[in-house]
Structure 1
Amino acid sequence: MNTNKTNSPWPAHRVQFITLCTHEKQTTLGRIYKDKNGFVWQPTVWGMAAEEGLRKLKLSSQLVLIQDYVIMPNHVHLLVLYRRCNDRVVKWFISHCKHTMAQHMLKAQHANEPIWETSYSSHYVQREHTQLALSQNIREHKTRWHYDSLNTFLPRPYSPKV
């Protein structure tokens, strides 16, 4: 796992799995709960705004292709393909991605605290089958939230309604 490091044997590995965490891993993007039909994603205003920012980024970016992404309560996973890959491009993309989502989020709801952690984690994907597995994981991630190491939710003790 790289934290703010982009050590990669260029240009062989251009696919990267990135995780961006919210400030102090607060669940500011939404929540996931289970009902009789399965897991339900309930985004906050910020979660919806982050989604809008990522959709626009996905459509507008020529240098970096966002192949898949998922927004979770306190983090975002991205699977990206770099058309041209070097340390500067990777660092620019991470910064641009956080900035684009933050712009949309702050337009939707103002905040005085930071939105994102300054660090991030990234892994270069070296094999196609790994890339396919990560893509599937992103699509199904909300149904496996209870296994996620970033899941900070602790069940509240039961208290009957009076």
Structure 2
Amino acid sequence: MNSRKNNRLEFYDYSQNGAYFVTICAKDKQKIFWNNQQCSVGAVSGRPQDKLNHLGLIVKIGIEKIPLYYQNITVDKYVIMPNHVHLIIRIDNNDINGRPMTAPTLSQIVNQFKGYCSKQIGHPVWQKSFHDHIIRNQADYNRIWEYVDTNAIKWESDCYYN
């Protein structure tokens, strides 16, 4: 029996304060979140939100609901691509009085988001896992922000394009 590889760092606490770059792929990397004609042409003009089909709009709502479910979580930046989503998620466990709050793990946040989308769509649309990168410093954050910001423009050269 094959066991799935754990993609998370073994001894890292994914509920601690910090910023995380997350990539979630559609099941079988199907191009299901953009209008078909734009998937074949690429994303040369316009904003990605202008290209979203009804499934992509459900994903957009799911992303925007994340901070409503978790008061100490923000989604700083995101882009919905035809077959995957990139997010910069920030966890801040300090309340107004500076006391630590209980935070969900990154996996719990992603699983809640994926579950919401699949329920609204009516069937599972995501691969089982997700990729994460712990953002280490401001330069790393800026580089990832730029990548997310320009990802739709570079769709045809994206590693998930084919």
Identity %: 20
- Paired with 1:147 and 1:44, the residues of 2 have a C-alpha distance of 22
1:94 CA drift (Å) = 1.4
Q: Give the counterpart of 2:158 among 138, 148, 156.
A: 148
- Aligned: 1:39 with 2:9: no
- Paired with 1:78 and 1:3, the residues of 2 have a C-alpha distance of 20
Matches within 5 A, 1:94-113: 94-104=110-120, 106=121, 110-111=122-123
When residues 79 and 7 of structure 1 are mapped into structure 2, their CA distance, relative to the original with a 3 A threshold, is: farther
Q: Which consecutive unaligned segments of at least 5 residues does structure 2 have?
A: 94-100
TM-score by length of structure 1 reads 0.74
Matches within 5 A, 1:10-159: 14-30=18-34, 31-32=38-39, 33=41, 38-40=44-46, 41=48, 42-84=51-93, 89-104=105-120, 106=121, 110-111=122-123, 114-152=124-162
Q: How many residues align?
A: 143
Residue aligning to 2:97: none
When residues 12 and 53 of structure 1 are mapped into structure 2, their CA distance, relative to the original with a 3 A threshold, is: closer
Q: Residues 54 and 101 of structure 1 are in contact (CA less than 8 Å); yes or no, is this contact kept in structure 2?
A: no
Q: Which consecutive unaligned segments of at least 5 residues does structure 1 have?
A: 153-162
Secondary structure at 1:28 match in 2:
coil
Residue aligning to 1:158: none
When residues 125 and 92 of structure 1 are mapped into structure 2, their CA distance, relative to the original with a 3 A threshold, is: same
Q: Residues 72 and 103 of structure 2 are in contact (CA less than 8 Å); yes or no, is this contact kept in structure 1?
A: no
Secondary structure at 1:132 match in 2:
helix
TM-score by length of structure 2 reads 0.74
When residues 76 and 86 of structure 1 are mapped into structure 2, their CA distance, relative to the original with a 3 A threshold, is: farther
Q: Residues 54 and 100 of structure 1 are in contact (CA less than 8 Å); yes or no, is this contact kept in structure 2?
A: no
When residues 76 and 48 of structure 1 are mapped into structure 2, their CA distance, relative to the original with a 3 A threshold, is: same
